[in-house]
Structure 1
Amino acid sequence: MKTSNLLWHTLLLLLFLCWQQPQAVHAQASHEAFLAGDLLPDAPELAVRGTYKVGVRTIDVVNKGQLNILKAANGTEPLYDRALKLEIWYPAQVTEKSKETVVYESTLGRANDPKRPLIPFTFTGRAIRDAAPQTSEGAFPLVIVSHGYPGSRLLLTYLTENLASKGYVVVAIDHTESTYKDVTGFQSTLLNRPKDILFVLEYMAQAGKEKSNSFLSGLADANNTALIGYSMGGYGVLNVAGAGFSPQLTTFFSSMTGGSKAIDVRTASHAAYKASIDPRVKAVVAFAPWGMERGVWDAEGLKELKIPTFFVAGSQDDISGYEKGVKAIYAGAVNADRYLLTYINARHNVAPNPPPSQTLKPELMEDYYHYAEPAWNERRINNINQHFVTAFLGIHLKKQDYLKYLQVEEDANKATWPGFKPRTATGLELLHTSPAK
């Protein structure tokens, strides 16, 4: 009888465990995964998403009749139609039942490096593909985003989605000949970064006009534009905003291209450059902008940067440099109201999404470190960037009362910063300098 009872209890226990296991699996599966841009418990106040649902669309545009610098030789100037792929995030009009998720398609590796083969991968974001735009509230400020070298338009989705949820139209550019899939000669990136940004600004201005036959009609206000750039994107947005290149860059560019002077028109002293400064650009965010250590800018060029600028850098940046790199640009932009947010001990990767899960393999360490920071949690960097970019653009594009978030003790170890939980701003420094009088 005792044996029978034991068997019976054992059977009941096994049945219970078999029933319980699927429930546990189901509970785990239903728990939503952490996506780029989601909040950590210590995220600062303005990192939270806004009230708008986010739509996203991919479009292709062509800038016709551009100089093909990769084929220029012996004084020839061949032209080509320069195709660009854009990703556009925007406030969307959707039903409450619509699930705010999208699958992005990107690439690891580098097209010009046989040791790093191209590996397609996907990742999930918080947006709705091709959702109807929210047009009942008028046009939203425009933000243009330029990636690093190499990179992609999807490198900062944690930030692009976040800004769209707060009432911005955000367009990120795949810079041809500078993405993972098609990276090639550096001279193309040097020449085309500012040109691509200016072309996209004008494209968005035309598409945003009433009755333009674009989904952007009445949605994007190009007269109220901010530029965000990372690394070579930072190089590009600073030049568009007023920091003209130096004669030293023209010499370097000419040596790379067999004597081409095509980049001269982006130098500080050139009349065409001065005429190209676009008053529609109201603010700039430059993450780890490249070039100062290579003589891209000098005092004459930097003093022409006159619009509000927010710099972000790692104190150990070994690509763009810090003391003689990003911080030197910040110091030299004497006529701009400017900030410098520094991640102490970070290197160059102060802007991108967290490393994709596909890079978590020893053989893909180079791809992993194209995203990761050795001394910082990338998700935490993302939340901090969301906070400060929201404050900075809110002030200059939306006239929001966010100044208190930028008026902080320089060294975060000495005081609690507004919007941060106690002790959570450790390792940060924020400098501010008003324009010279």
Structure 2
Amino acid sequence: MKFKTVRLLLLLSSSLFFYGLIFTASAQTDDNQFIFGDALPDAPELSARGTYKVGVRTLEFVNKGQIDILKRKDNIDPVYDRPLKVEVWYPAILPDGAKELVTYDQVMGAANNPQRPLIPYTFQGRASRDAAPLTAEGAFPLIVVSHGYLGSRLLLTYLTENLASKGYIVVAIDHTESTYRDAGGFPSTLLNRPKDILFILNQIADLGKTKSKNFLSGIVDAENTALIGYSMGGYGVLNVAGAGYSQTLLSTFESLTSGSKAVEVRTTNHPDFKASYDPRIKAVVAFAPWGMQRGTWDAEGLKGLKVPVFFVAGSQDDVSGYADGIKAIYSGAVNSDRYLLTYINARHNVAPNPPPYQALKPGLPLQEYYHYAEPAWNEKKINNINQHFVTAFLGIHLKKKDFGKFLELNENSNDKNWTGFKPRSSVGMELLHAVPQK
């Protein structure tokens, strides 16, 4: 009996040591570790990294004279200079022997929330910090990325790095008062999300002009722009692309802000909204866009969405809703050439990086893990599939690539293996397609 007990303890100790090595390896920073966005063995065809080396830089901007909705008092909307930090990924030139490896600084938790204290951590990416930009090939299409609430500009690095490696300038925004580090009241996100996106688009377009002295000079084709948004980022990019907010959203905003009408300028029939339509925007990717369940859009507002849109959703989304949420937006956008990719049984986290290993530590609130993880899906697999479909969709609309076969698929992935997917790997998904009404 003692022999069996000792043997069991030895086996248990060996197993713990083995899994400890795996866990420790996930925290290392060598080139051989799995980094967010790397291809799994069953990754679909277009998820593969592109041919360009990737540089990354951080830029800071200030949008002057903006309404400070969180300090509204006595029926007056004060103004402030609104800071915005962005991360820019771009095709780059790397010296011989230079590593395409970067360390990102991030936090878990939520500012001003004692139940979710901020926990700093770092993770690795496949880009080179401050690398020289590739200027010999001219300008690259622009992609502006907007995160969720709460989130950060580093929430989708698996996708932003991947797209830059395929010849895009990718700019992800830290939306002030909507990040982990500076979480503020929700009215700021409702008001500022579309305004931030437009402001940054214009700033990057200016820096990309050939006479600018910025590293982006001459390499940004802002006339050929796509928007990517996740959750509240989806709320923002759809509005910027033409889906005007409803009077219900205006009423909700007024009730949250003691009567402020500041968001009215983004409603469907407001003249300022109509004047803000931007023909530079050629396509939109909306991951789990928030708002339809709350009446953010009505039929008239969704008719204003005329650019091609690729929606991504989980069929069990319990934040944005599915049938009466994301799928309802897809159905109502009758003037758009649109797709809806659904991960069956997934909830809301169909866009972010996988959980960092720090989120696996015992004692942390489950919310920190489930801020990234999907209960029914491998998040790394979702990331690879997203890379594949976003590459196909944006390749068609921004680069005129012949990627149609990757989108012309049978509706249910279980019925027949989808083009571009390895045998037996395209299961548990649905892809819908609708063309603009005549």
Smaller-chain TM-score range?
Answer: over 0.9
Unpaired segments ≥5 residues, structure 2: 1-20
DSSP-derived class of the 2:143 partner: strand
Partner of 1:406: 407
Select the structure of larger CA radius of gyration. Answer: 1
Partner of 1:248: 248
What aligned pairs does 1:386-401 form with structure 2 within 5 A after superposition?
A: 386-401=387-402
The alignment of Structure 1 onto Structure 2 pairs a total of residues equal to 412
Partner of 1:8: none
Between the aligned partners of 2:164 and 2:254, the Cα distance in structure 1 is 40
Cα deviation for residue 96 of structure 1 reads 3.5
Q: Does 1:382 align with 2:386?
A: no
Partner of 1:315: 315
Between the aligned partners of 2:192 and 2:135, the Cα distance in structure 1 is 33
Deviates more, 1:30-39 or 1:409-418: 30-39
What aligned pairs does 1:32-43 form with structure 2 within 5 A after superposition?
A: 32-43=32-43
Instruction: State the Cα deviation string for residues 136-170 of structure 1 (Å, max 9, x = none).
Output: 00000000000000000000000000000000000
Partner of 1:430: 431
Q: Does 1:84 align with 2:81?
A: no
DSSP-derived class of the 1:182 partner: coil
Contact 1:226 1:393 in 2 (8 A): yes
Partner of 1:351: 351
Between the aligned partners of 2:337 and 2:34, the Cα distance in structure 1 is 36
Q: Does 1:328 align with 2:328?
A: yes
What aligned pairs does 1:31-430 form with structure 2 within 5 A after superposition?
A: 32-364=32-364, 365-430=366-431
Between the aligned partners of 1:285 and 1:54, the Cα distance in structure 2 is 22
Instruction: State the Cα deviation string for residues 303-329 of structure 1 (Å, max 9, x = none).
Output: 110000000000000000000000000
DSSP-derived class of the 2:132 partner: coil
Instruction: State the Cα deviation string for residues 196-252 of structure 1 (Å, max 9, x = none).
Output: 000000001100000211111001111100000000000000000000000000000
Between the aligned partners of 1:196 and 1:244, the Cα distance in structure 2 is 16
Contact 1:290 1:326 in 2 (8 A): yes
Moved over 6 A (4+): 28-31
Between the aligned partners of 1:89 and 1:126, the Cα distance in structure 2 is 10
Identity %: 70
Contact 1:55 1:131 in 2 (8 A): yes
Cα deviation for residue 31 of structure 1 reads 7.3
**TM-score of the two chains, using structure 1 as the length reference:** 0.93
Between the aligned partners of 1:368 and 1:375, the Cα distance in structure 2 is 14
Between the aligned partners of 1:244 and 1:164, the Cα distance in structure 2 is 30
DSSP-derived class of the 1:363 partner: coil
Structure 1 pair 240–31 and aligned structure 2 pair: CA distance change class (3 A)? closer
Between the aligned partners of 2:134 and 2:61, the Cα distance in structure 1 is 23
Between the aligned partners of 1:149 and 1:256, the Cα distance in structure 2 is 17
Between the aligned partners of 1:152 and 1:158, the Cα distance in structure 2 is 14
Between the aligned partners of 1:161 and 1:238, the Cα distance in structure 2 is 23
Instruction: State the Cα deviation string for residues 399-429 of structure 1 (Å, max 9, x = none).
Output: 0000110000000000111100122110010
DSSP-derived class of the 1:136 partner: coil
Between the aligned partners of 2:126 and 2:241, the Cα distance in structure 1 is 30
RMSD of aligned residue pairs (Cα, Å): 1.3
Contact 1:73 1:257 in 2 (8 A): no
